[in-house]
A = this chain, B = another copy of it.
Amino acid sequence: MQILITGAAGDVGKVLVESLADEHEIVATDADPDAPEGTRELDIRDLDALTEAFQGIDAVIHLAGAASPESDWDSVLELNIAGTRNVLEAARQAGVRRVVYASSNHAIGGYDIDEEWPVTPDMPVRPDSLYGVSKVFGEALGRFYREAHGLEFVPLRIGWSSGDWGAADSEVLRAMWLSEADTARVFRAALEADSPDGGPYYATSDNGGRHRWDMTSTIEELGYQPQDSWEAAAGQE
Residues of A within 8 A of B (CB): 73, 77, 81-82, 85, 89, 110, 113, 121-130, 132-133, 136-137, 140-141, 143-144, 147-148
Contacts and interface: CB of A to CB of B under 8 A. Distances in A.
Contacts of A73: 85, 89
Nearest to A137: B137
A46 to B, nearest CB: 15
Given A133-B137, A133-B141, 17 more contacts: A73-B89, A77-B81, A77-B85, A110-B144, A113-B147, A122-B124, A124-B124, A125-B125, A125-B143, A127-B140, A128-B144, A129-B148, A130-B144, A132-B144, A133-B140, A136-B136, A136-B137
Contacts of A132: 144
B125 A122 contact: no
A123 B122 contact: yes
A121 B136 CA distance: 16
A221 to B, nearest CB: 15
A130 B141 CA distance: 7
Given A81-B81, A136-B136, A110 B141 contact: no
A123 B126 CA distance: 13
A140 B128 CA distance: 10
